[in-house]
């Protein structure tokens, strides 16, 4: 029996008191390598409570990032259902899923994924550009997000003019700027030194504790996982 087993995952969820924000119901995902289907997730089930900070850990290739992408609507399962809040995202069309993702999920990646030609301010503003907001409101939101991550004085700098830790804080500000309830972080400290990593995790903890953000962190690092209230260890299903 592994943590992919639905029963175990559900038991883990039952330990939290809050209502579930994310419900993963027997989700399977496999990738093809030539003619061979390599299963990464198999009938995986779990829930994530609203306001929870959860760490997904496990060996490389066990499906942590895949699960994160499925929760965030960046990928689709081969089977199973995923519901986030009131929305069954696995039933959405591609366009609707993209729209939902832009409004409800903040992504934070190991390598920041900031646009190099844009300033920190412009990078943070990006997710707001496709929403119906006036420029003044966009500016206010961007200022708030940059203040929150402590980068108000670096707003006009480009990514290449900032340290890795600062770039990751810009990425966090970008994830926050739409006021998404769900932040999905894939190895957010994987490219940072220890001090910067500590600051990033403290910031994520603050967002979880003070702002009630639901945060899922994929990590190899036990020190990072220690910031989470709950840790789910994934194992890789057998290849077929």
List residues binding other proteins (CB under 8 A): 65, 69, 72, 74-75, 94-95, 98-99, 101-103, 107, 109-111, 113-118, 126-127, 129-130, 174, 186, 191
Smallest distance from the beta carbon of 5 to other proteins, in angstroms? 25
In the complex with other proteins, which residue's Cβ is closer, 51 or 127?
127
In the complex with other proteins, which residue's Cβ is closer, 31 or 211?
31
In the complex with other proteins, which residue's Cβ is closer, 27 or 49?
27
Rounded to the nearest 5 percent, the helix, strand and coil shares of the chain are 40, 25, 35
Smallest distance from the beta carbon of 31 to other proteins, in angstroms? 10
As a whole number of angstroms, the distance between CA 181 and CA 79 comes to: 25
As a whole number of angstroms, the distance between CA 198 and CA 233 comes to: 22
In the complex with other proteins, which residue's Cβ is closer, 99 or 221?
99
Judge contact between 170 and 159, C-beta under 8 A. Answer: yes
Smallest distance from the beta carbon of 27 to other proteins, in angstroms? 15
Smallest distance from the beta carbon of 73 to other proteins, in angstroms? 9
């Amino acid at each position: 029996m592994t943590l992919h087993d639905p029963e175990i995952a559900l038991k883990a969820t039952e330990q939290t008191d809050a209502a579930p924000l994310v419900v993963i119901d027997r989700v399977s995902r496999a990738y093809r390598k030539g003619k061979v289907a390599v299963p990464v997730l198999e009938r995986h089930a779990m829930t994530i409570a609203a306001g929870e900070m959860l760490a997904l850990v496990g060996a490389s290739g066990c499906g942590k990032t895949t699960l994160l992408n499925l929760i965030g609507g960046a990928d689709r399962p081969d089977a199973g259902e995923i519901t986030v809040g009131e929305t069954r995202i696995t039933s959405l069309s591609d366009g609707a899923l993209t729209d939902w993702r832009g409004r409800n999920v903040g992504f934070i990646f190991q390598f920041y994924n900031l646009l190099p030609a844009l300033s920190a301010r412009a990078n943070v503003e990006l997710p707001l550009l496709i929403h119906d907001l006036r420029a003044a409101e966009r500016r206010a939101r961007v200022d708030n997000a940059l203040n929150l991550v402590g980068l108000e004085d670096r707003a006009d700098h480009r990514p290449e003019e900032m340290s890795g830790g600062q770039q990751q804080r810009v990425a966090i500000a970008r994830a926050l700027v739409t006021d998404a309830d769900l932040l999905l972080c894939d190895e957010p400290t994987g490219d940072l030194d220890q001090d910067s990593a500590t600051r990033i995790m403290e910031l994520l903890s603050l967002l979880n504790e003070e702002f009630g953000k639901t945060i899922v962190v994929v990590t190899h690092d036990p020190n990072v996982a220690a910031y989470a209230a709950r840790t789910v260890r994934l194992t890789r299903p057998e290849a077929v």
